[in-house]
Structure 1
C-alpha cells in the first residue's frame, strides 16, 4: 500500500473510531486541529465548531468547506432502581436495530461498556406497538443506583456505539460514525493538499448537525462565506429493499452530488458547474434527488441574504447504525472533486453563477 493511501486510511480510522456525539465533539475537534494547525489559522465559535482558514492568491471569494463532527448517539436520561440506564436519543435511530448492541457510556472514570437489553425469543410476546428508543434499557452489570455511581456514571453522560475499524475486500471500510467522519476526513485531506488557489478557504468542522444543524447556524455567522461546499456521509441506497429504481447513492460509484432534499434546493447553476467540473476531470460521480434528510446546507444557504451551496457526499451503507461501510474509491472521488472546486472557484466564476 502506498504511503499516501496508508495515511488516508489511518486518518479515516482515527476519525471514525473517535467518540463524538452531539454536544461531545471535543475529541474529534482535537484530531482535526492537530492535522490543520500547522497550515491554517484556527479559531472556535461559541458552540464549539472548529474554523480553519487558508488564504490563497486572493482574499475573495471566501469559500466555506464544511463537515460535521458529531455522530448519532445518546445521552444518559435516567437510572432505574435496579441499575439499568435509560436513553435519550441524539439524532435519528431505528429503535428495533438497537437491542443486543453494545455501547460506551463516557463517564467521569472513562468509558463504561454496556449492552442494550434484548428480550430473548423465549419470553417475547407479540409486539403491539412500534419500539421506541425511550423504551430501551442499557445493562452495565450494575444492580443499583449506587453501583452506577461507583462506575462514574451520572445523568447527562454521553453514549456512543461500540464498533471497530475493519477493511473488507481491500476497498470497503467498516466502522461507526461515517456520517460524518468521512466528510471530516475529506475536509482534512483537502486542506492539507490544497496549495495554489484563487480564494480564501475556510474549513469548518461543525457541531450538533444530527440534532438540527445547530452548529452551522452559528458557524456561518463567523465565517461569512460567499459560497459553501458541504461534505457529507450520505445514506447509500444500493442494497436490496431500499429503492425500486436505479440507486442514486451507490457504494463504489463515485461522489454523490446532491440536487435536492426536503431542507434545501441546491443552487442550480452551482451544481451544474460542479458536475461539468467532475466530467472535465473524469471524476466518478452520481446525481441525487433525495426525498428525505437534511444537511448543514439548510442553515448555510439561507444565511446572509443567500449563499450558493453545494453538497458532496460519500455514500454510506447502514448509516445511523452501529457499523457502516464506505468505499475508498468514493472517498477519493469526493476528495478530488472538492480539490478541483477549491482550486478553480474564483470571483469571476462565482459571479457567473449568481443571478444577474
Structure 2
C-alpha cells in the first residue's frame, strides 16, 4: 500500500479518544501485510510493532504517534431525542456548530448527525453575535424523542462521536484535505518509517508505537513508555500550521516548508543535543526543516522524556492547517520529508551517539 492510500484510510477511520479500534485494525493489517514484525495491541488500544530482527541487546528507539482524534462523547439524551455531549480534546466553540458528525450505536453502527445550530430567524440581535458554548449545543440525529433515540437508533450515553469528513487529495498542488490529520499523519509516518527501515542493518532496536488517548492527557503514552522502555524516542505529530494568520517573522510551521521540530511547549523542553543533531542532519541532507517554540500545546514527548531514567525525545511535526477542527490541509511533500528525516536519523543512531545526547 502506498503512503497516500494509507493516509486516506487512516484519516477516514473513526477513532475518538478511547475508541481507536478502526485505526488499530488498519495499522495491524498494514504491519502484517508489509511483514514489519510482530504486532499487538493492549486493552487501552495501544499498538506495538516489533521487528523480528530486534536483537534485544541494542539501545531501543521508540517511534511514536497517537492514534486518537479530537472528538466528542454523548453525555445525555434530551426528551426531544437530541444528544448533549462533551468534547474529547481541545475544541474551539466557534468551530463546532453546524458540522456533520457520526455517532456510534450500541451495536457498532455509525449514524449521521448534525451539531444543531438555531436558525437565524429565531435569534435575537444579541444572540446573532454570540457564540454558544459546547455545553449549550446538541447533536441532532433526526430523532423526535428520547425513546426513539434509544430504541430505534440504538444510541445511548457514552457513545463516541467523530467529525464526518472524507479525505481528498489535490494531486496538482500536492495538498491533502481531511479530518484527524492530528495525528493520523503521524500514525502513517510510524508505519512508513518501520517499512523503510525493515531491511536496514541498524545500531539500534526499533519499536513502532501508536499510543491512544493523547488528546485527553497523553494517557496512552504513559503506558507505552513503560512497556517499551526506550533509550531514545521520535514522536510524529500533526502540528498546527501558523502560516495563514501569523505575521511573516513569526511563522514557524508553514505548510510546504518541511517538517517542524519543536524546541519547547507546555509538555517538554526538547533535548537540545538530539534536537541539534536532527536539525543539522536535515540541512546536511537537503531535507527542509522548520523550528518552533510554542507557548501552548503538548505531545506524547512529555511523558516519554520523563521515563526510563530520562529519554532524549524529538518531535517531528507535519504542518496541518486548521488543526483541532473538522477539516485540515496538509502537504504530501511535508509528510514524505518527515518520514525521510526520521529514517535517516535512526540509521545513524547507536549506543555512543545516544549517550552523547
Q: Same fold (TM over 0.5)?
A: yes
Match of 2:241 among 232, 236, 242: 236
Q: Which residue of 2 aligns with 1:192?
A: 195
Superposed CA deviations along residues 231-289 of structure 1, whole A, max 9, x for unmatched, are 000000000x3446331100000010111101100000000001111112110110111
Q: Which residue of 1 aligns with 2:311?
A: 307
User: Aligned pairs, how many?
Assistant: 347
Structure 2 portions without partners, runs of 5+: none
Return the offset for 1:314: 0.2
Match of 1:178 among 174, 178, 181: 181
Structure 1 portions without partners, runs of 5+: 1-5
Q: Which residue of 2 aligns with 1:213?
A: 218
Q: Which residue of 1 aligns with 2:4?
A: 9
Q: Hey, what's the Cα distance between the residues in 2 that align with 1:279 and 1:208? A: 34
Match of 1:264 among 245, 265, 268: 268
Q: Hey, what's the Cα distance between the residues in 1 that align with 2:339 and 2:210? A: 16
Match of 1:107 among 88, 105, 108: 105
Q: Hey, what's the Cα distance between the residues in 1 that align with 2:269 and 2:160? A: 34
Return the offset for 1:130: 5.3
Q: Hey, what's the Cα distance between the residues in 1 that align with 2:159 and 2:78? A: 15
Change in Cα spacing, 1:129 to 1:24, as seen in structure 2 (3 Å) is same
The CA RMSD over aligned residues, in Å, is 1.5
Q: Which residue of 2 aligns with 1:329?
A: 333
SS at match of 1:287: strand
1:223 lines up with 2:228 in the alignment: yes
Q: Hey, what's the Cα distance between the residues in 2 that align with 1:228 and 1:18? A: 26
Return the offset for 1:44: 2.7
My pick for the range that moved more, 44-53 or 287-296, is: 44-53
Q: Which residue of 2 aligns with 1:52?
A: 49
Q: Hey, what's the Cα distance between the residues in 1 that align with 2:149 and 2:246? A: 41
TM-score when normalising by structure 1 = 0.94
Q: Which residue of 2 aligns with 1:89?
A: 87
Q: Hey, what's the Cα distance between the residues in 2 that align with 1:175 and 1:113? A: 17
